[in-house]
Structure 1
């Protein structure tokens, strides 16, 4: 009996050890242990600092990890990042419970789906978001309504907590396109959802958590802290979207579409008898979740970072004021039409995207076939973590990447110059579909707020920290601002 138990234990150990061993010619990386692989050696916070810094020096720009039995390759070299973003076999999305849990145990939406389903859904989403907001005039109107609301709030307070000030406003821009409505700044239901959304983003790790790498733990310990809270928040958001969809179903006029939900519901009705349709209510809920979660969080953090750096670098703020006065004047608001003439503003916003790296990693990719990079073998279905941050911090390219210096994007005549390495929204087939909206929102908030106010650190407060909060994306640590009217 004892011999049988010993043999069974040895067999199980060898099987587990085999499952967590790196494949032949796999990229170098941190050590692997039976069952858990490289998990104990993975950084817990600000993953991009470790991977693009210490690990890149130690292992090279292509790093291989085993997260349990799941293979993951981190791409942390600039040239390799640019290559992987454009090669078709790297454009899949990972499979597994972690990615299905958020979309009704299926692969839905436009972020974590792939193949023909993703192509059809992305094309439809992009086309109809353009109809209900990406068109320059309607998008600008939606954004400026929210900017004016924020200005009223700041004017009443003068000194305010920057974190969270813009969350409702940025989500209202998205919600105006998706559902044709907006929420007040003190809406109780939206505040609860925002709190849960922020908590999920801050608790997340772009390298994956234990339930993503070892889904068996979700079954063995169903109440595991973090996973349960994330799932509760997810269900709340799904209920929020479902309620709006039900309202749209009862009020829709297919001859007069009001917003994206109407367009999607109309397409569902058209394809109702098609057994292969990709248009379902669950799919619509997941698309709303994709856009609501990622778009709102990253845009809000971007606006917070822009103001934070203006008080840390007051000479840059003065230069922005000077250009706004010269181009816009004092009697009107900045518009998107002013953008081509605001060269210094454009340089500042680009440098902020570089320095802050709101999303240091793209959403995870997956190899759709066996392939190679830098001579290493990458098997099919390997999860790929692409570190965009490594592009923005390469010393050979930028010279002084650690320095906040907007002038690096200006030529000798003071004109804005694009840099091919500035791809904060990704590149290739998986480029973020919300890029136009995000850039326009940040531009109009930044220019209008700087046109209206001088921002400073309130007396007695410490200067904001440039070390960000960690999570799926990064965000500024809590800080306060003082806003003084300029005119």
Structure 2
């Protein structure tokens, strides 16, 4: 009898195990049935996927894979299945033409400090669209020249006080771009020696530096405990706290009958809508958007300007031609203005080539399919993550001959005018494109032209200028270098 009970027990256990295996197999088949029409891609290894094969510059590896698998292919990065988009046509067809279906946002562990709020991390929804439209409308009506002139004065004065001694260009320009976006947000600038302002700049510089070391946690979330991942989380939290301190100070002087900057317009919306319906911005939206605009409006612009200086030092003939055009059109008695732009084609072409040669974001932030997407003969299931490799546009030999060479004339026609090049999308496209384009383009023009018009920049004696090769992280970080500046005569 005991033997029979044992045999029955074993049979029950075996049956339960078989049922469990059948359920698991069924779930796998259901999951894989949605992946049948996913684009093909390279095989990875269990758990890690293709992560071990991406090398130092993943954007270049992905371009190589696109030659084999096509411009839309699938990779497994850790626990995430991602459809990679390479080349202008693929990115346009998915992000723009299928924008309503491809503009979701998955959970981004790196940006947990935003708590899934704000126009960077919020998922695609009516609330997201309304907030984004509100911010874009405000930024598009700004008098950018008015908001930058004081900071350009301060930056030029800072460089003059160096008296030709070496200084870190990135640190200098970061303070200026941070104050520009701070003025837009709050209506007033911060003093460079203000402790909260210094904490803010130091925190996001630290986070940007750590991002390349800790980006693996976005694909292998269970590695959050690694030292570099913990350090990155701490750096972003420190940044968030620094922004919040400035925000809380600003709130103390809030007057519903006055508007000092974008934050006040958001607060007006919150107060007005609280009386009748759901607010456009709640408290957490206010914090998250303030933090998002600070980091995207300062770090990205300062990084782009730093790359610009590195290229102008590397190509002194281009810099001399740029200065000659500015001297001819602007003269020596004033600074370049936005009204001068139509008369400065080589200057504008140089700025475009600077953005092309080192697009500061090689990859888009991950998107998410909000519905099934049919594109180029493939079915991309709802919930699938999507990423664009912008490097595959700007370093595409079929579009640009010798793409690694710095040649502003690419953007000029035979008549000496700036020409439009299809596929030149430094601010991306679609419903997740950069909302600050209307600010960043004139700001970069005003700061860079003011500097090269005022000073001659050189590499310090005894130092060697690094090659224009960066490190891929949340932005494409330029190598460290110092410069000397002397007033032009």
Moved more, 233-242 or 424-433: 233-242
Partner in structure 2 of residue 57 of structure 1: 67
2: distance between equivalents of 1:388 and 1:177?
Answer: 29
Do the aligned partners of residues 464 and 97 (structure 1) sit closer, same or farther apart at CA in structure 2, a change above 3 Å counting?
closer
SS at match of 2:456: strand
1:26 alignment partner, one of 18, 38, 52: 38
Q: What is the CA distance between 1:14 and its match in structure 2?
A: 6.9
Is this contact kept in 2: 1:180–1:259, CA < 8 A? yes
Task: Give yes or no for the alignment of 1:70 onto 2:42.
Answer: no
Mean alpha-carbon deviation: is it higher for 120-129 or for 476-485? Answer: 120-129
Give the total of aligned pairs. Answer: 472
Matched, 1:92 2:103: yes
Structure 2 partner of 1:384? 386
Match of 2:151 among 146, 156, 169: 146
2:159 touches 2:485 (CA, 8 Å); kept in 1?
yes
Query: Is the alpha carbon distance of 1:362 and 1:217 closer, same or farther for their aligned partners in structure 2, counting shifts above 3 Å?
Result: closer
State how far apart, in whole Å, the 2-side matches of 1:217 and 1:363 are.
Answer: 20
- Cα deviation, residue 462, structure 1: 0.7
Partner of 2:247: 245
Distance 2:318 2:278 in 1: 55
Counterparts of 2:201 and 2:390 in 1: how far apart (Å)?
Answer: 26
Instruction: Tell me the distance in 2 between the aligned counterparts of 1:485 and 1:346.
Output: 23
Contact 1:168/1:183 (<8 A) preserved:
no
Q: Does the C-alpha gap of structure 1 residues 294 and 129 become closer, same or farther in structure 2, counting only changes over 3 Å?
A: same
TM-fit CA distance, 1:44? 5.3
Question: Structure 1 stretches of 5 or more lacking a match?
Answer: none
1:419-477 CA distance string (max 9 Å, x none): 12211001122221111211111101111111111122222111231111221111210
Give the 3-state SS of the residue equivalent to 1:164 in structure 2. helix
Q: 2:217 is matched with which residue? A: 211
- Name 1:135's counterpart in structure 2: 142
1:124-174 alpha-carbon deviations (Å, 9 max, x no partner): 2223344xxx423xx212212111211112122222222322111101000
Q: CA deviation at 1:271?
A: 1.7
- Kindly indicate whether the alpha-carbon contact (under 8 Å) linking 1:17 and 1:34 is maintained by their aligned counterparts in 2: no
CA positional deviation for 1:372: 2.5
- Whether contact under 8 Å (1:248, 1:262) holds in the other structure is no
> Which of the residues 345, 354, 357 maps onto 2:347?
345
1:233 equivalent in alignment to 2:235 = yes
Q: 1:418 to 1:202 in 2, by over 3 A?
A: same
- Does 2:53 match 1:47? no
Contact conserved, 2:362 with 2:472, CA < 8 A, in 1? no
Q: Distance in 1 between matches of 2:475 and 2:25?
A: 38
Contact 1:44 1:205 in 2 (8 A): no
Q: Distance in 2 between matches of 1:74 and 1:168?
A: 35
The 1:468–1:2 alpha-carbon spacing in structure 2 relative to 1, beyond 3 Å, is: farther
**Alpha-carbon contact 2:269-2:280 (below 8 Å) kept:** no
Deviation of 1:69 after TM superposition, in Å, equals 4.0
Secondary structure at the aligned position of 1:111 is classed as helix
CA, structure 1 residues 15+294, in 2 after alignment: closer, same or farther (shift >3 Å)? Answer: farther
| CA contact 2:118–2:289 (8 Å) conserved in 1 | yes
The 1:89–1:71 alpha-carbon spacing in structure 2 relative to 1, beyond 3 Å, is: farther
Distance in structure 1 (CA, Å) of the matches to 2:254 and 2:100: 41
Change beyond 3 A, Cα 1:422–1:294 = same
- Asked if structure 1 preserves the Cα contact closer than 8 Å seen for 2:206 and 2:235, the reply is no
- 2:174 is matched with which residue? 167
* Alignment partners' CA distance in 1, 2:10 and 2:117: 49
1:287–1:141 distance in 2 versus 1, CA, 3 Å: same
Judge conservation of contact 1:147–1:169 (CA < 8 Å) in 2. yes
CA distance, structure 2, for counterparts of residue 385 and residue 199 of structure 1: 25
Unaligned runs of 5+ in 2: 1-8
- Residue 428 of structure 1 corresponds to 430
CA contact (8 A) 1:78 1:394 kept: no
Alignment of 1:427-466 (within 5 A): 427-466=429-468
Contact 1:179 1:244 in 2 (8 A): no
Shift of residue 99, structure 1, vs aligned partner? 7.1
- Aligned counterparts of 1:445 and 1:263: Cα–Cα separation in 2: 27
In structure 2, what is the Cα distance between the partners aligned to 1:171 and 1:434?
A: 14
TM-score, length of structure 1 as denominator length: 0.89
Once the two structures are superposed, residues 180-214 of structure 1 have per-residue CA deviations (whole angstroms, 9 ceiling, x without a partner) of 222223333333332221232233359x9443234
DSSP-derived class of the 2:447 partner: helix
- Mapping of 1:32-431 within 5 angstroms? 32-41=44-53, 43=54, 45-52=56-63, 54-86=64-96, 87-96=98-107, 98=109, 101-104=112-115, 107-113=116-122, 114-130=124-140, 134-136=141-143, 139-157=144-162, 158=164, 159-204=166-211, 209-218=215-224, 223-273=225-275, 276-431=278-433
CA drift of 1:2 comes to 11
TM-score for both structures, normalised by structure 2: 0.89
Partner-residue secondary structure (3-state), 1:484 = strand
Deviation at 1:480, TM superposition (A): 1.5
Distance 1:18 1:226, change over 3 A: farther
